[in-house]
Structure 1
């Protein structure tokens, strides 16, 4: 099982330097193409996507976070993001309807 990352231009370098296969996206079209690559690549178990990249195709990302089993879709902050994003508890509540 391997990681695959879809990242905005400001965040892509860090993922690449850590050895994670990464596609840089700047437009919604880029993000759609990156999803096709990620989901057609054999062995991808975790799809990491930065917040700025996810915002380009927000509806699709949210649907996959809550419904896709493999690969697991994990949204992470983009380089320079400020605190205040949804907490893990908020995500769980949205996904399964309970709060911890």
Structure 2
């Protein structure tokens, strides 16, 4: 029988990265992911925000916001898959108070 497990067997390079202490379940982890990506999206809406001390172009920030919303949407879909509609994390891409421009 073929082994179709495509996961690598080596230890991840970021093994020293810890998870927040309040993450005790997959549901908690999904909520933390949603909170972190929401906070990142908020920061990416600030035109004066710098990354490693350097400002980013509006196009780069727009692309970063788009990807951040994709992560939030995937997190919501994962919650829906694992816990069903009654426990899905609400996906509200326009919750951002600084969301005054469209990123299309």
Fold equivalence (TM over 0.5): no
TM-score, with structure 2 as normaliser: 0.29
Q: Which has the higher strand share?
A: 1
